[in-house]
Amino acid sequence: MTEKPTMIAFQDVHKYYGDYHALRGITATIRAGEFFSLLGPSGCGKTTLLRTIAGFEGISSGAVMIDGRNMAGVPANQRPTNMVFQSYAIFPHLTVAENVGFGLRKARLPKAELATRVGEALEMVGLKGYGDRAAHALSGGQRQRVALARALILKPKVLLLDEPLSALDKKMREQMQVELIRLQRQVGITFILVTHDQEEALVMSDRIAVMFEGEIAQLADPETLYRRPNSRKVANFIGTMNFLPAEILSEAGGKIEIEAQGFGKLTLEAEQAPGAASGDGAAVGFRPETLTILFEGQTASDRESMAVIEEVVYYGDMTYYDVRLDGTEKPIRISMRNVFGRPVLDIGARTRVAWSPGALVLFQ
Ligand SMILES: Nc1ncnc2c1ncn2[C@@H]1O[C@H](COP(=O)(O)OP(=O)(O)O)[C@@H](O)[C@H]1O
Ligand SMILES: [Mg+2]
């Protein structure tokens, strides 16, 4: 597959608000037609970075390129971007159609053409036939759709979405996530989503930039971020990661020899250490679903350790076990899918645990 051309390029972008260093050297590219997310905790600079694309925020140094063109000095209304705000910014006194057509009012299109364009945009977001409704009478999910239609009608190259789903309840949010993915595939333009919700980012994105304190900590596709986070901080922000202390014994020829508490001596591949790691104070990390509790008669396909169960949390479809491997000080979490006919184990039970060296990640 050929790589898609670059749509956005950040070149060492810095942004100060007075003395406050909000963006600290952002260098990254976003490809044409990509569903890209900026993910990070509140205050890390996601909105600021998004606004530098839109042109609502100037930068202190560096460059923001869109479609090969440096955006320095290019005002927001002359950029090929459009933004959907967290608050939707719907005009309540206008109809749905008037809201959607609002951005086109300067284009002075013939009435019939305007109506066609509005109709197309409404159909795209699943609001066909809603044009004459009063905007103030819409539900949260419908307002969100109107905001999307209003942005898409201008046919931007890049759609910018700042936490567009955060005001919706969980069910509606999950439904809108699926619809946004479908919409992005349909229109084929670049979507850039800001979210603090790691699950939302994993579900929706082709690639994700994880941000902390004005910097990109890791930029990768969802699977790489989840399987091979490059720092403990990224690992902890995305899902649950167990850690056990490890010592690096030797490194040569793309292999890393370690001794990990609870697991013993192991050889890892270099790609299992995506961040720099050396010497003491290292740790191996692993996700709760990469370990398996072995029940009567089952055998490990790879390695096996003994453990004691210290806590059991039953979730219906899943059970989370906190278990302490022999030779370790603190418990780790194992998640098991509950299947028919398999018992849920009790606290204090001794059990065998299956694991694989390939599922481990080495961190400093
Ligand atoms: N207009 C502004 N003036 C001063 N500080 C700001 C301004 N906008 C944002 N900040 C600060 O910059 C940091 C990043 O903000 P923001 O980009 O909104 O973060 P996020 O969207 O990740 O929550 C925060 O500490 C915020 O308080
Ligand atoms: Mg924000």
To which H or E segment does residue 341 belong? Answer: none
Gap from CA of 49 to ligand 2 centroid (Å): 9
Query: What does the domain layout of the chain look like in residue ranges?
Result: 6-233, 240-363
List the pLDDT tens digit at each of the 364 positions of the chain.
567 899 999 999 999 999 999 999 999 999 999 999 999 999 999 999 999 999 999 999 999 999 999 999 999 999 999 998 766 678 989 999 999 998 788 778 888 999 999 999 999 899 999 999 999 999 888 888 999 999 999 899 999 999 988 888 888 899 889 989 999 999 999 999 999 999 999 999 999 999 999 999 999 999 999 999 999 999 999 999 999 999 999 999 999 999 999 999 999 999 999 887 676 789 999 999 999 999 888 888 899 999 999 999 999 999 999 999 999 999 999 999 999 888 889 999 999 999 999 999 999 8
Ligand 1 centroid to residue 194 C-alpha, Å: 13
| Domain 240-363 grouped into CATH 1.10.10.10 | no
> Which mutation among 16, 17, 56 tests ligand 1's pocket best, with the greatest number of atoms within 8 A of CB?
17
CB under 5 Å of ion ligand 2: residues: 47
- Please give the model's pTM, rounded to 2 decimal places: 0.92
Q: Which of 65, 66, 38 is nearest to 193 (CA)?
A: 38
Half-sphere exposure of 89 (CA within 13 A, CB side): 13
Give the list of residues 6+ apart from residue 158 with CB closer than 8 angstroms, or none: 7, 8, 53, 66, 80, 81, 82, 189, 190, 191, 192
**Nearest ligand to the C-alpha of residue 57?**
1
Q: What angle do CA 11, 13, 277 make, to 5 degrees?
A: 80
Do the beta carbons of residue 138 and residue 146 sit within 8 Å? Answer: yes
- DSSP code at position 289: G
The CATH homologous superfamily for domain 6-233 is P-loop containing nucleotide triphosphate hydrolases (3.40.50.300)
Closest CA to 268 of 361, 332, 353, 354: 361
**Which ligand approaches the C-alpha of residue 163 most closely?**
2
Beta bridge partners of 196: none
Which numbered atom of ligand 1 lies nearest the CA of 45?
Answer: 17
| Cα(50) to centroid(ligand 2), Å | 9
Which residues on adjacent β-strands are paired with residue 42?
A: none
